[in-house]
Amino acid sequence: MQIRTRLTLWFIAITAFLLLSSLFFIYYNFSNHVKSEYYKSLQSKALMTVAMLSKNKPEILEFGQKNEEDLGILPTRDNILIYNTQLKKLFSFNSENEISEQTLKSILKNGEYKFKLGTYDAIGIKYTTNFGKELIIIAKGMIMSEELVRLRNILIMTFFIFLAFTALGGYYFSNKALHPITKTMNEIDNILPSDLSKRLHVDKNKDELSRLSITFNRLLDRIEDAFNIQKGFLSNVSHELRNPLASIISSIQVNLTKNRSEQEYKNCLENVLLEATELEHTSTQLMDLARISAKSDKILFGNLRIDELVWQAISIVGKTNAKYNFKVETEGMPEDQNQLIVNANESLLKTALINLIENACKFSKDNTANISVFSETEQLISVEIKDSARIIQEDEKEQIFKPFYRSEETKKIKGFGIGLSLVATILNTHEAKLSIRNNQNIGNIFKIQFKKAN
């Protein structure tokens, strides 16, 4: 069953219940009012009859009805019965109904008692005449109110008319309410894997459907990024990994063409080892990038001192190349060790720092990286890594964090363009802010801002 039909049926059911309850309440109260007025009328006629008999034929109330001629003095000929307190019938228009002794006793006990007498509605009252005689007066009749019947018919007709309008209105409004969803579904159907740039239209109304469209658009952004990364990976990894593999294969083939000296074989093995090491380093970075981007593993965080991680990263980078130099500024470093603690994953954050420091050394003319750790605010601890490389242009600052991106100037330097992409992914996982600014006229400053651990 479609949501539109289900909403319409629920709307009809709720409206029918409320309307039926309201109409029943109206009919019930009006019916009680009609019955109350009818009983008042019966009581009034009964009292009038007793008053006329007491005035013109008091002997009837004393000894009972004598003959039919005595009825001519009465203003009404409704079926009225009169009993004395000894439960003896003194008067009635006809004797087709006899009142039970239990009913008469109930009237004496309560003073007024309403009851059913066959198909009739009856009311009995205890009455004391002007000369002190106690009587039981019973008046009976049938409530045949034309107004009540007419009201019942009107209410039934009203119920079905309103129900019909409710069904039409419910279907119309449910259709109108679900129209944005239908529109959104049609827009989603038009989004194909070949073109993920399309987005859902977001209305200005800040309702649940607008939030759904915004959330779905964010999902499309992540899917498009994943597709782009996959495309970039497929188009670039084959080229980037083919070069070291081709170099390894060609070196081995050349050296196998004829016998070589021990030194030549040693040189060949050194080149193969260098290329294999670069290949292993690249594959490790690719796996780390894929693992963190996919969030396939749960990343464990703990409290770590950021200055210790920086020193460990410097030590690792220094071992990879003896030409690399490092200058560490400690002037702005807080004296309180607790101000240096951040919540992070040691392995991942160390990888990010190693890549940034290694890049600063690699691209600087003097192979030197200037590193400083300082407390920026009460909540933030920052790490700055300065280089003396060419200044990164504004339009390049976003591109360098994409996988396999390399500018024309850096293509001459050995590398695969994965490191900064891995850095950005790791820092994003740590909710750390990475920014780049020019270092006056020479070089760039990579600044990382961490939230201090509470």
pLDDT in tens, 230-251: 666 665 566 566 667 777 888 8
Q: How confident is the model at residue 284 (pLDDT cuts 50, 70, 90)?
A: low
Q: How confident is the model at residue 144 (pLDDT cuts 50, 70, 90)?
A: low
Q: Which CATH number, 3.30.450, 2.40.480, 3.30.420, 2.60.40, labels domain 3-148?
A: 3.30.450
371 or 400, which is more confident:
371
Report which of 74, 75, 92 is spatially closest to residue 83, judged by C-alpha positions. 92
Q: Which CATH number, 3.40.50.150, 3.30.565.10, 3.90.180.10, 3.40.80.10, labels domain 302-451?
A: 3.30.565.10
Any bridge partners for residue 64, and if so which?
Answer: none
According to the model, what pLDDT value does residue 130 have?
72
Q: Looking at residues 389-413, what average pLDDT do you find?
A: 65
Q: Looking at residues 91-114, what average pLDDT do you find?
A: 77
Q: In sequence order, which residues have a C-beta less than 8 Å from that of residue 170 and are 6 or more positions away?
A: 7, 8, 11, 12, 15
Q: Is residue 96 pLDDT above 70, yes or no?
A: no
**pLDDT digit string, tens, across residues 316-335:** 888 878 888 988 887 778 87
Q: How far is CA 232 from CA 229, 280, 396, in A?
A: 5, 20, 17
Report which of 344, 262, 337, 23 is spatially closest to residue 159, judged by C-alpha positions. 23
According to the model, what pLDDT value does residue 95 have?
59
Positions of CATH 3.30.450 in the chain: 3-148
Positions of CATH 3.30.565.10 in the chain: 302-451
Q: Is residue 74 pLDDT above 60, yes or no?
A: no
Q: What is the distance of C-alpha 291 from the center of its chain?
A: 30
Tell me, which fold does domain 208-294 have in CATH?
A: Helix Hairpins (1.10.287)
Q: Is residue 296 pLDDT above 50, yes or no?
A: no
Q: How confident is the model at residue 78 (pLDDT cuts 50, 70, 90)?
A: low
Q: What is the mean pLDDT of the chain?
A: 76
